[in-house]
Amino acid sequence: MTDFIYEPYKKIHVHDLIKMSLDDLVSMISTLESANAYWADGVLFVSFSISESDELGKKEIEGETYLDRVVFCKYDRYTKTAKSSTNVEINVINVQTSHLYHDLVSWLKKQAVWNE
């Protein structure tokens, strides 16, 4: 039988945090190829990875990854879709039970940009 080993990331480097209004976030996400946002702990967000390379692949194996940016807005409760004031609608995926995303949101709420 195959052994499975759960190994969460040891470090995630985030290069930019961008707080937006709901309208701006929905508008931005709706223009992407995959029009989904994530929700956890009162935050609607999307993250963007840095392009893969051999060096980044080695870092992944060591338990580190890099995010180019995390774009977010405060969004108190989960809904299956989020709609802008101009009726643009995107899908929302509830990642509340993910330890990784829970930790990301907890960390995000401690950053200065959260209160801007």
- Split into its structural domains, the chain has a count of 1
3 in any annotated domain: no
Q: What is the pLDDT of residue 50?
A: 83
Domain coverage including residue 69: 11-115
pLDDT in tens, 30-69: 988 767 899 999 999 999 988 777 787 888 888 888 899 9
80 in any annotated domain: yes
Contact predicate 41/102, CB 8 Å: yes
pTM of the model: 0.88
